[in-house]
Amino acid sequence: MTFLYIFRFTLVSALLFTSVSGFCLIPEVRREWRSISPIERASWINAVKCLAELPHDPRVVATVDPALSLIPPLTPNSSYFDDFVYAHMDLNVLIHGTGFFLPWHRLYVQTFENELRSKCGYIGVQPYWDWTQDAADFYHATIFSDSTFDGLGSWGDPNNDFQISTGGFEDIRVAYPVPHNIRRNFTLQPFLAGLNAPGAPPVDPLLMINTTFTKANVDFTLNSFTGDYIDFQAYFENIAGPHPGPHVILGGDMSGLCPFGLQPPACYPGMRWSSNDPMFYLHHAMVDKIWYDWQHRNSSNKNAFGGGSISAQVDPSQAFKYPTGAPPLLNLSSVIPSDGLWGRVTIGDVMDTTGGRLCYIYA
């Protein structure tokens, strides 16, 4: 059995890295975090920690004007895990509220999985986190295990800038926006302080954010917007849709809150460095699963795409007219920005998870 598994992994890995011709023989199967074994969970955690011990890759560079990205300079003495964080920070104004949102994050999570394998010997598959299971009682969700073997850790210490001190990631040190340990701060009503996204309509300050990522809301997202990618993404990415809620309820790094004592211009809040927390990759695998499920819900959804390249962060006046980005418009031939994390990949290359450059399905 072990030999067969290793043979299957080797074969599939080869297909993943050489499938530019669109050939995918045996798709990997991504499964929910709690449905994989403790050993598989520990293997993923250890591989992530391995990336955090590898040095910065000099091929990863900033490509966005700092006046737009609002981030600190790249730190060469950071880790390869930090390189992924930095690319997400630098490209934030290009990949949120634009047509790049879903394709970029699909490729980002796949690239992260590929690097866990090629650089850290990971032989598993990227898991996802079905947060609909946790919406009713998020604070006590079983996914926040304190186990140092296979646990993701629980909530941070309010007396220590909400830095976590349990689970497999208790000792990870991240570089951005300043060096610190991963932070999580349970935030059920994030809009009480009047926070709002640029160009977005006012949000009920009493909104319980866990109501936005229930199974009912995911089902609504999946069963609506048939053939209409722009409205699908606009709802999915909007505060009423399922994507933002898990970010902001986790608080801390996942919601892009500045570390204690940092104020602009040293630090601007926003979801720029949300991939500091490895929960990001489990969350965005779930985001990708919802897009995957929507694509397979109706034949007119499969290749549906639309959106522009200018986000409301750059031009708030366009937010209502172009919720998924103002012109210039993107298309399947548009090249996905990478900051050096990957080579030339187009949106069309990642529309099908079993074709182009990808070879996986969801269970």
The model's pLDDT over 131-149, given as tens digits with 9 standing for 90+, comes to 999 999 999 999 999 999 9
Confidence of residue 320 (pLDDT cuts 50, 70, 90): confident
Lowest mean pLDDT of 13-17, 77-81, 198-202, 225-229, name the range.
Answer: 13-17
Q: pLDDT value at position 201?
A: 67
pLDDT at 266 over 70: yes
Structure tokens at 353: 């998870």
pLDDT at 276 over 90: yes
Q: pLDDT value at position 4?
A: 35
pLDDT at 44 over 80: yes
pLDDT at 224 over 70: yes
Confidence of residue 316 (pLDDT cuts 50, 70, 90): confident
Rounded CA gap, 32 and 58, in Å? Answer: 34
Average pLDDT, stretch 352-361?
94
pLDDT at 9 over 80: no
Question: Which pTM does this prediction carry?
Answer: 0.93
Altogether, the residues listed in the chain come to a count of 363
Q: pLDDT value at position 196?
A: 61
pLDDT at 200 over 70: no
Please state, rounded to an integer, the average pLDDT across all residues of the chain: 92
CB within 8 Å of 321: residues ≥ 6 apart: none
Confidence of residue 197 (pLDDT cuts 50, 70, 90): low
Q: How far is CA 94 from the centre of its chain?
A: 14
Asked if 130 and 32 touch (Cβ cutoff 8 Å), the reply is yes
Average pLDDT, stretch 324-335?
97
Q: pLDDT value at position 1?
A: 36
